[in-house]
Chains A and B, each alone.
Chain A
Amino acid sequence: MEHYSMNLTLKVWKQKNKNDKGGFETYQVKGISSEMSFLEMFDVLNEQLIAEGKEPIAFDHDCREGICGMCSMYINGRAHGPWHQTTTCQLHMREYKDGDTIVVEPWRANAFPVIKDLVVDRQSFDRIIQAGGYISVNTGNAVDANALPIEKQKADESFAAAACIGCGACVAACPNASAMLFVSAKVSHLALLPQGDPERKTRATNMIQQMDKEGFGNCTNIGACEAECPKGISLENIARLNREYIGSVFSGSGTGNL
C-alpha cells in the first residue's frame, strides 16, 4: 500500500499514581507516517510533549518485536488494538486514516492496578507462576536432551502453550477479568511433558487458588481471551486446565500448599 501521512486525535488515560483518580487527556499528533508502529507514534507524541515542557505519557514497552508482552494498551476497545494475534508494538499506523480519533486505556482489572498512565502492575501473574508454574529437576550434569522420548503431537501442543508471553491481554479482554487463559497456558505447557509430572497433582489447584486470591474473575467460557491473545493460545488449554484441576481434586492427596 502507498505510504501516507496523517494527523490524529488521541484520547489517552492519564493517572499520576495508583491512588490518583485519573482521567482522559486529548492530544493532537501531526505528520504520523503509515509505516510507523503504534508505539513509534507514541514516541513522536512524547517527544512533542517534552518539547512543549509537558509530562510525557508513561507506557510499558521493551522488546518492540512482539515477544516480551509489556506493551499493554487497550486501543479503541480492543486489547493491543484491532489486529489479530498482534501486540501493540506490532500494530502499525496503516490501520488508521487521517483525522481518526483513537482512545487508549490501560488494562482494566482489579488484579492489575494502574501504576501510572498506561502502565499496570502485573505481579499477580508472577505470584500465580510461583504458586505452581515450575518443575523439579535433579541438579548435576545436564541430561541428554534426547534421553526422554516425547510424542511429537504433545511436544507441539506444549510448545504452542509455552508461547504465552504473560501480556495480560486475556485478562484485559475478558468481561469477567479472568486469568484462566494465562493460567491454562502455564499449566498446559508443563502438563503435556513428562518433566511436569512430579507436581502434577498440586499444580492446577495451587495456581487456581492463587489466581482467585489475586482477585481475578471466574471464567465463564466467553472466549474473548482467545480472540485477543497475541500468541493464539487456544481455549483447549482451558479445557486441559479444568481436566488437570478435576484430576488433582479427585485423585490428588488433598493437601496442597496454600
Chain B
Amino acid sequence: MNWKQAFTSSIGKKLVMSLTGIFLITFLIVHCYINAQIFWMDGGVKFTEAGHFMATNPVIRFVEIGLFVLLFLHIIQGLMLWSQNKSKRNTRYAVSAGNHTSKWYSRSMGLLGTLILLFLCMHLYHFWIPNRYQQTFGSGEIDLFGKMQAVFSNPAVVVVYVLGCIALGYHLVHGFYSAFQTLGLGTHRYKKMIRNIGIAFSIIVPLIFALMPIGFMANLIH
C-alpha cells in the first residue's frame, strides 16, 4: 500500500477525519479558554488582552492558517464520506431499526456537521471577518467585547448561537469517541475512559460557549 492508498482507503479516510477532528477539538479548548475571559466581569479587560495576543502573535497567526486548512479537509472529507456511504445501499429497507441499534446523533454526523458549518459562516461574519478586515486595512483590531455586546443584544441571534452549541455538542458526543476509536484506542483499557471524557467534554465546552451569548443578552456580563 503506498501513501496515497493509505489515506484514501476506507480506514485512511477515517484517519483523516479523526486527526483533523482531534485538531479541531484542541482548537475548541483554546477558543473556549480565551473567550471565557469575559466572565471575569472586568469590562472585557482580560479578554481583550488575550484576544490581542491571539490576533498578533506570529505563531498563532501561522497556526490559524493550518486551522482553516484542516477544517476544510475535515469538511470535504466528511461530506464525501457521507455521500459515499449513502450510495452503498441502493435498495433501502422498508422497515428500519431506528434507535434500537444505534444513536440518532451517531447516524447524523453529516447533518450535524452541516449545521455547524452554517453556524460557522454566520459566526465568522460576526467576529472574525470584521476583526481581520480592520486589522489589515484599518485601525487595528476591533473592540470584540463591545461587538459581542452588540451582536448578542438580538435574541434571535442568541437562539441561533445556542442551537449551534447544541449541534456541536451532539457532533462531539459521537466524534470524540469515534476519533479515538479510529486511532485504535477503543480497547478494553481505554474505552470507558474515552467515552466518559468525551461526554464530559461535549457537555462542558458547548455549555461554556452557550453561556456567552446568553450572559450578554441577560445583561449578566459587564
Contact A240:B85 (CB < 8 A) given known A105-B94, A110-B90: no
Interface string of A229-240 (1 = CB under 8 A from B): 000000110111
Do residues A173 and B97 form an inter-chain contact, with CB atoms below 8 A? yes
User: Is A220 located at the chain interface by the 8 A CB criterion?
Assistant: yes
Stretch at the interface among B8-16, B62-70, B146-154, B209-217: B8-16
Do residues B81 and A220 form an inter-chain contact, with CB atoms below 8 A? yes
CB closest chain-A residue, reference B175: A221
Do residues B181 and A238 form an inter-chain contact, with CB atoms below 8 A? yes
User: Is A218 located at the chain interface by the 8 A CB criterion?
Assistant: yes
User: Is B95 located at the chain interface by the 8 A CB criterion?
Assistant: yes
Query: In the bound complex, how far is the Cα of B10 from the Cα of A212, in angstroms?
Result: 7
Do residues B89 and A221 form an inter-chain contact, with CB atoms below 8 A? no
Q: How many residues of B contact A (CB 8 A)?
A: 46
Q: How many A-B residue pairs have CB under 8 A?
A: 145
Query: In the bound complex, how far is the Cα of B1 from the Cα of A240, in angstroms?
Result: 19
Do residues B5 and A209 form an inter-chain contact, with CB atoms below 8 A? yes
Query: In the bound complex, how far is the Cα of B186 from the Cα of A221, in angstroms?
Result: 10
Do residues A217 and B181 form an inter-chain contact, with CB atoms below 8 A? no
Do residues A242 and B11 form an inter-chain contact, with CB atoms below 8 A? yes
Stretch at the interface among B50-58, B99-107, B124-132: B99-107
Which residues in A have their C-beta under 8 angstroms from that of B95? Answer: 76-77, 103, 105
Give the contact-size bracket for chain A.
35 or more
| Chain A 203-251 interface residues, beta-carbon cutoff 8 Å to B | 205, 208-209, 211-212, 215-224, 227-228, 235-236, 238-246, 248-249
Stretch at the interface among A55-63, A90-98, A134-142, A174-182: A174-182
Contact A256:B1 (CB < 8 A) given known A221-B106, A223-B102, A239-B181: yes
User: Is A254 located at the chain interface by the 8 A CB criterion?
Assistant: yes
Which residues in B have their C-beta under 8 angstroms from that of A82? Answer: 100
Partner of B186, one of A24, A103, A228, A238: A238
| Chain B 12-42 interface residues, beta-carbon cutoff 8 Å to A | 12-15
| Chain B 133-190 interface residues, beta-carbon cutoff 8 Å to A | 174, 177-178, 181-188
Which residues in B have their C-beta under 8 angstroms from that of A218? Answer: 10, 13-14, 81, 84-85
User: Is B116 located at the chain interface by the 8 A CB criterion?
Assistant: no
Which residues in B have their C-beta under 8 angstroms from that of A24? Answer: 94
Which residues in B have their C-beta under 8 angstroms from that of A99? Answer: none
Do residues B88 and A215 form an inter-chain contact, with CB atoms below 8 A? yes
Query: In the bound complex, how far is the Cα of B114 from the Cα of A151, in angstroms?
Result: 47
Do residues A221 and B182 form an inter-chain contact, with CB atoms below 8 A? yes
Query: In the bound complex, how far is the Cα of B90 from the Cα of A109, in angstroms?
Result: 7
User: Is A194 located at the chain interface by the 8 A CB criterion?
Assistant: no
User: Is A111 located at the chain interface by the 8 A CB criterion?
Assistant: yes
Contact A220:B106 (CB < 8 A) given known A78-B101, A178-B10: yes
User: Is A64 located at the chain interface by the 8 A CB criterion?
Assistant: no
Contact A103:B94 (CB < 8 A) given known A211-B10, A242-B11: yes
Given A108-B89, A217-B85: 16 more A-B contacts, CB < 8 Å:
A105-B93, A110-B90, A173-B97, A173-B101, A176-B85, A205-B6, A218-B84, A219-B10, A220-B106, A227-B100, A235-B186, A236-B187, A239-B181, A239-B187, A239-B191, A242-B183
| 21 contacts across the A-B interface (CB closer than 8 A) | A78-B101, A82-B100, A105-B93, A108-B91, A176-B85, A178-B88, A217-B89, A218-B14, A219-B11, A221-B177, A222-B107, A223-B103, A223-B106, A224-B97, A228-B101, A235-B186, A236-B187, A239-B181, A239-B187, A240-B187, A241-B11
